A and B are shown apart, each in its own frame.
Chain A
Amino acid sequence: MNVIELEHATFNVGNRNVLADISLTIKPGEFVGVLGPNGAGKTTLMRAILGLLPPAAGDIRVFGRAARRGNPAIGYLAQVRTMLPDLRVRGIDFIASSLHGERWGVPSLREADRRKIGTMLAEVGARELAERPLSDMSGGERQRLLLAQALLGEPRLILLDEPLISLDYHYQEAVIDLVRRFARDRNITVLFSAHELNQLIGALDRVLYLGNGHAALGTVEEVVTAPVLSRLYGTEIDVVRADGHVFVLSRGRDVERTDHLHDHGHDHDHHHHA
């Protein structure tokens, strides 16, 4: 059974058409890197898979059924993190809120859940965050907390929306390795959106490039080519391969790096107050 199937699916956000007539299938255990310029629809696609955005046309199926909200088989790390900068809640309570958080009644933290959270935090190298309040954490520490949370609860599909933001370079590598290993051991499907392809090249099975309303899914050799990317970016794109790396250039400028720098400025505005 395919994990994700899109058949001629079209998605609009407000009045804007973000993705038009997309058809693709993603199989169990695949690690798919999701790339594309800002606003290309990476977040939109993930929200659609979560059942938060019904298609304007066409079909989207997850594990063989129409995408629906509240699917417990999906782990999710959201990109828009409206975390109040002075949230005086410790890490373990923050993560615990997501465990069966949709149920009514008074929350309780069972010993088994406490252990699971502790194990997962240790897995991402952030055991000490359990007792620290979010207001004392750096952007990178919050990111680890969210990653641990996304991996909890035995998901069969993990959607990670820009999980590398706010992390320093070495830790970015560690996160990619961790997710790769974690997913492979359990045959979990991963959609991992990022700004830079080169970091992901060693980990991903296929790459999904989004741009201009279109999508291209395939191996790096198939997708990251001048004709395919020129169509997606809507401008003349050159692809330069050197030493195992791939550089996507528009009029001599590195497209991804420019996006990435832009995002860092953004990030600085939102996450570094604490």
Chain B
Amino acid sequence: MTTVTTTIITTMLDYDFMRNAFVAAGIAAVVSGLVGYFLVLRGQSFAGHALSHIGFAGATGAVLIGVAPIWGLVAFTVAAGIIMGVLGERLSGRDVAIGVVLALALGFGLLFLHYYTAFAAQATALLFGNVLAVDHGMIWTLLGLAAVTLAALAVIMRPLVFASLQPELAEAKGVPLRFISIAFLTVVALAVSQSVQVVGILLVFSLMVGPPATAQQLVTGLWSGLILSAGLAVAEAWLGIAVAYYTDWPVSFCIAVLSALGYFLSRTGWLAGRTAPHLRPGT
């Protein structure tokens, strides 16, 4: 069994594009798992969804003017993240307004694609990810972005946890809530840009929300939750690539399935071998 597994893995890793895929997915998954933990903690997972949609217009617009899509993604998502942070409270509950803006962003993305010749391939890669096409240059880009993202997260982490758990008290103790909110959404924007390289715009939830939500079901400590979230994201991404390699199904599909599976198993308590609290009688 072990030898069979080893052989399978070695054959898989014989290919340069497979090695690149594993490295790129690993980087994006660690970032998504860590940043996503706070996204779920703050109940802001919809913001991650919104940012990725807005990024679609940025990515296709960048392609149109001859820039790599990732820089269009970064520019648009970061700008949108800052605007969402500035609007803050005024945005919450405005789901209709947000929905309209998202549709508009996707519409613009389509318009930009319309003027670009390699229409279908580019659109599919952006919407659903194409981690098997990642090259060395992209890996260095991802590494750089990951370093910036995690450094920024480390700087704001302490007040971010405080502001997320108890905003009233944090405000009284002098935490700049507005700044923290803007800084965090900027970090989310960068994480989304990296995640899109692996699973695409429409499936960022599978790396940014699935693993953290699963981790929070399984453990309740802050650090244990963060570590488990990043670990699950990496495991699901890598397993997804491996399954795709042997089944010829799309990578993003495999990752999305594993992400959903992990979440629902944790909700029903099978993974931890316990009854989930919300299913326990009397609670």
Interface positions of A (Cβ within 8 A of B):
47, 50-52, 69-70, 72, 74, 76, 78, 80-84, 87-90, 93-94, 96-98, 100-107, 131-133, 135-136, 149, 274
Contacts and interface: CB of A to CB of B under 8 A. Distances in A.
Interface string B166-192: 111111111100000000000000000
B161 A90 contact: no
A147 B62 CA distance: 53
B161 A101 contact: yes
A104 B172 contact: no
B11 to A, nearest CB: 40
B239 to A, nearest CB: 24
Interface of B: 41, 43, 154-159, 161-163, 165-175, 216-217, 220-222, 225, 277-278, 283
Contacts of B167: 82
Sorted nearest first, the 9 A-B pairs with minimum C-beta distance are A70-B174, A101-B162, A78-B168, A88-B216, A133-B220, A90-B220, A50-B172, A107-B158, A93-B222
A47 B172 CA distance: 8
Contact of B43 (A84, A89, A97): A84
Contact of A70 (B156, B173, B225): B173
B275 to A, nearest CB: 12
B171 A87 contact: no
A98 B162 contact: yes
Interface SS of chain B:
helix
A166 to B, nearest CB: 16
Nearest to B219: A88
A104 B151 CA distance: 12
Contacts of A87: 41, 165
B171 A69 contact: yes
Nearest to A90: B220
20 contacts: A47-B172, A69-B173, A69-B174, A70-B173, A74-B172, A82-B168, A83-B166, A89-B220, A90-B220, A97-B161, A97-B166, A98-B162, A98-B173, A101-B158, A101-B163, A101-B173, A103-B159, A133-B277, A135-B277, A149-B169
Given A84-B43, A133-B220, A102 B156 contact: no
Contacts of A80: 168
A255 B16 CA distance: 77
A107 B162 CA distance: 10
B283 A136 contact: yes
B162 A102 contact: yes
Contacts of B171: 52, 69
B157 A106 contact: yes
Nearest to B40: A88
A189 to B, nearest CB: 16
